[in-house]
């Protein structure tokens, strides 16, 4: 059987995969592009997560694509609106016709002699039958995000098997779950919990957010007043770009001040919370022991979580679990929280490269041994890019830049008659650091299994959008971090 060949194979039809495919359609229309999606629907995170109130922590002017203006009124959009935006964009640029669903890439083999990838793809039919499909491509672009889609993280909690109520993880929310008039306990204090609690509190008898320790939660208007003005006076695309830069620079300023003046930012966050919460509530439940942006800062649109707490529809309890009982949760303090529904908003399981086995000239690499180049390629792995968004700003700000840089690399190869580009490892004396610079539990749990970054460019991640704009849009593609090869040039 002759394997089908494509110029570029994109793995994943979520926000970043659709964006990359659109970029290739616009900039390199002659290239053959195939998008392989393991699930049966487009949208990635925004199709998978269906819990009440699911939304983004980023405004849509930065979470949206730079080439496709966000035109809705709400700057902080819910999941269905984001999903509609992704699918509408895919249809506008013809990307919806490039996607093959239920196609999971299990293994990718690079041949330097042939200067191409051979992919082992597991294709699942509607009845659940699986067949292996072989494909080849010139370039592999992995847009699978950084977490496992099939399984969230569930900590080892005593008594969990004894619970008699409804137990649910947000990553696999039952479509038929009705929490109306029921007592709900949400275990966790990250972005998912902060979203779930006010959404469920609109119809539940009561919702309790049970957190082991406090998280920074900051209120923010769901509409962007400056954006509303700019969209009235500027054409749609021009307004979108101005608002995008305004919000990107604003997020960067908050992050940089958090790193350099943490006490100032603590006071700033507290001042934003005080119109909604009493000082003792802030002290007890919303004053973390760590510095701002050592972990992600959670967003409460229009202070919705705080409003729910003030109205008595929701409450926050800070403590540790002793055991889950048949009727709820008992804390080490002795307090018992009754729960008809127990939601484990306890985090993600991280997964590098979508779990694809990467083999270069017969040698399989381990993701934990990889070193990234410009935050988008792995050293000693040719003609493969991957997307990892910012931790301190919108995911799409970075993935848009990566897709644009992929176009630049392909153009460079064509212009110079080259077949491959392979990043090199940084000098041995250069210290390596974790890829994701957060102290969150979900990051620490997976640190050993994720690629590493260097301590200086081009191997270091900046978490700085303007700096990355310069590096990925304008700086030369030929630098100390890469080698360009013709067919037959051995990587190892």
Least confident range from 2-6, 156-160, 428-432, 487-491: namely 487-491
Predicted confidence band of residue 428 (pLDDT cuts 50, 70, 90): confident
- The pLDDT > 70 percentage for the chain reads 97
Residues 310 and 451 in one domain: no
**CA quadruple 444, 447, 448, 453: dihedral sign:** negative
339-397 pLDDT, tens digit per residue, is: 999 999 998 888 889 999 999 999 999 988 999 999 999 999 999 999 988 888 899 99
φ, ψ dihedrals at 414, nearest 5°: -65, -45
Closest Cα partner for 402 from 60, 145, 141, 147?
A: 141
Q: Say if residue 287 is exposed, middle or buried (CB neighbours under 10 Å; 0-12, 13-18, 19+).
A: middle
Residues 380 and 291 in one domain: no
Q: Is 434 strand, coil or helix?
A: strand
Residues 296 and 398 in one domain: no
Least confident range from 103-117, 301-315, 348-362, 401-415: namely 348-362
Residue written as token pair 């707490």: 309
Closest Cα partner for 199 from 184, 214, 211?
A: 184
Picking from 284, 319, 344, the residue at the C-terminal end of a domain is 344
In the predicted model, what is the mean pLDDT of the chain?
93
Let me know if residue 103 belongs to a domain.
yes
Predicted confidence band of residue 302 (pLDDT cuts 50, 70, 90): very high
* Distance of alpha carbon 58 from alpha carbon 60, whole angstroms: 6
Q: How far is CA 486 from the centre of its chain?
A: 35
Q: For residue 348, is the peptide bond before it cis, meaning its omega torsion is within 30 degrees of 0?
A: no
Contact between residue 345 and residue 427 where contact means Cβ atoms under 8 Å apart: no
Residues 122 and 167 in one domain: no
Residues 196 and 230 in one domain: yes
Structure confidence at residue 68 (pLDDT): 95
The average pLDDT across 466-471 equals 94
DSSP state of 358: E
The average pLDDT across 125-134 equals 90
Residues 314 and 172 in one domain: yes
One-character DSSP codes across 105-144: EEEEEEETTTTEEEEEEEEE-TTS-EEEEEEEEEEEEE--
Residues 394 and 317 in one domain: no
How many beta carbons lie within 10 A of that of residue 475, not counting itself?
15
Which CATH number fits the domain that encloses residue 447?
3.50.50.60
The average pLDDT across 435-440 equals 68
DSSP state of 146: S
* Distance of alpha carbon 435 from alpha carbon 420, whole angstroms: 25
Structure confidence at residue 164 (pLDDT): 96
Residues 297 and 383 in one domain: no
Let me know if residue 491 belongs to a domain.
no
258-298 pLDDT, tens digit per residue, is: 999 999 999 999 999 999 999 999 999 999 999 998 888 99
Let me know if residue 155 belongs to a domain.
no
pLDDT at 220 over 90: yes
Structure confidence at residue 196 (pLDDT): 97
Contact between residue 158 and residue 325 where contact means Cβ atoms under 8 Å apart: no
Domain that holds residue 379: 4-149+349-485
The per-type count for the chain, helices as H runs and strands as E runs, is 13, 25
Let me know if residue 398 belongs to a domain.
yes
Residues 336 and 193 in one domain: yes
Let me know if residue 385 belongs to a domain.
yes
Residues 274 and 375 in one domain: no
* Distance of alpha carbon 432 from alpha carbon 410, whole angstroms: 29
Structure confidence at residue 488 (pLDDT): 63
Structure confidence at residue 390 (pLDDT): 86
* Distance of alpha carbon 135 from alpha carbon 149, whole angstroms: 23
pLDDT at 439 over 70: no
Output the CA angle 6-401-115, nearest 5 degrees.
30
* Distance of alpha carbon 423 from alpha carbon 408, whole angstroms: 15
Least confident range from 101-115, 117-131, 356-370, 443-457: namely 443-457
Q: Is 471 strand, coil or helix?
A: helix
Structure confidence at residue 177 (pLDDT): 96
Q: Which two tokens stand for residue 289?
A: 């022991």
Residue written as token pair 């990107």: 248
Let me know if residue 490 belongs to a domain.
no
Let me know if residue 145 belongs to a domain.
yes
Structure confidence at residue 216 (pLDDT): 95
Q: Which two tokens stand for residue 434?
A: 């974790």
142-158 pLDDT, tens digit per residue, is: 999 888 888 888 889 99
Residues 357 and 339 in one domain: no
pLDDT at 492 over 60: no
* Distance of alpha carbon 277 from alpha carbon 279, whole angstroms: 6
Structure confidence at residue 441 (pLDDT): 66
Picking from 344, 374, 389, the residue at the C-terminal end of a domain is 344
Q: Considering its fold, how many domains does the chain have in total?
A: 2
Let me know if residue 492 belongs to a domain.
no
Residues 133 and 173 in one domain: no
- Number of residues that this document lists for the chain: 492
Picking from 294, 320, 344, the residue at the C-terminal end of a domain is 344
Contact between residue 165 and residue 376 where contact means Cβ atoms under 8 Å apart: no
Q: Is 284 strand, coil or helix?
A: helix
């Amino acid at each position: 059987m002759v394997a089908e060949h494509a110029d570029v194979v994109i793995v994943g039809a979520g926000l970043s995969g659709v964006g990359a495919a659109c970029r290739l359609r616009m900039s390199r229309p002659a290239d053959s592009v195939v998008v392989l999606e393991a699930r049966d629907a487009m949208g990635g995170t925004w199709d998978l997560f269906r819990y009440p109130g699911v939304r983004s922590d980023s405004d849509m002017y930065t979470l949206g694509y730079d080439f496709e203006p966000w035109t809705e009124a709400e700057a902080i959009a819910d999941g269905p609106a984001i999903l509609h935006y992704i699918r509408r964009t895919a249809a506008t640029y013809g990307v919806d016709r490039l996607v093959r669903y239920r196609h999971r890439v299990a293994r990718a083999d690079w041949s330097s002699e042939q200067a191409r990838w051979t992919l082992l793809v597991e294709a699942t039919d509607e009845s659940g039958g699986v067949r292996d499909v072989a494909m080849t491509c010139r370039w592999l672009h992995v847009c699978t995000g950084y977490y496992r889609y099939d399984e969230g993280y569930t900590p080892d909690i005593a008594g969990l098997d004894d619970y008699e109520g409804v137990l649910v993880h947000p990553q696999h929310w039952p479509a038929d779950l009705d929490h109306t008039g029921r007592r709900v306990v949400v275990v966790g204090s990250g972005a998912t919990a902060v979203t779930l609690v006010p959404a469920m509190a609109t119809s539940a008898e009561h919702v309790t957010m049970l957190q082991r320790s406090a998280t920074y939660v900051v209120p923010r208007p769901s509409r962007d007043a400056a954006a509303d003005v700019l969209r009235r006076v500027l054409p749609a695309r021009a307004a979108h770009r101005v608002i995008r830069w305004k919000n990107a620079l604003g997020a960067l300023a908050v992050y940089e001040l958090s790193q350099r003046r943490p006490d100032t930012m603590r006071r700033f966050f507290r001042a934003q919370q005080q119109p909604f919460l009493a000082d003792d509530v802030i002290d007890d439940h919303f004053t973390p022991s760590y510095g701002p942006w050592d972990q992600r800062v959670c967003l409460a649109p229009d202070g919705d979580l705080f409003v729910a707490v003030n109205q008595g529809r929701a409450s926050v309890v800070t403590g540790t679990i002793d055991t889950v009982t048949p009727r709820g949760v008992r804390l080490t303090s002795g307090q018992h929280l009754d729960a008809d529904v127990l939601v484990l908003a306890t985090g993600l399981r991280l997964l590098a490269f979508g779990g694809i086995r990467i083999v270069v000239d017969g040698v399989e690499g381990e993701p934990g041994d990889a070193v990234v180049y410009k935050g988008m390629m792995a050293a000693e792995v040719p003609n493969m890019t991957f997307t990892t968004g910012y931790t301190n700003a919108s995911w799409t700000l970075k993935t848009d830049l990566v897709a644009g840089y992929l176009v630049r690399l392909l153009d460079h190869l064509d212009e110079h008659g080259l077949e491959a580009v392979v990043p090199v490892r940084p000098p041995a004396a250069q210290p390596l650091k974790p890829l994701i610079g957060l102290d969150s539990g979900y990051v620490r749990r997976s640190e050993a299994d994720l690629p590493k970054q260097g301590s200086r460019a081009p191997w270091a991640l900046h978490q700085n959008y303007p700096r990355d704009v310069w590096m990925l849009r304008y700086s030369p593609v030929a630098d100390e971090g890469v080698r360009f090869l013709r067919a037959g040039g051995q990587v190892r």
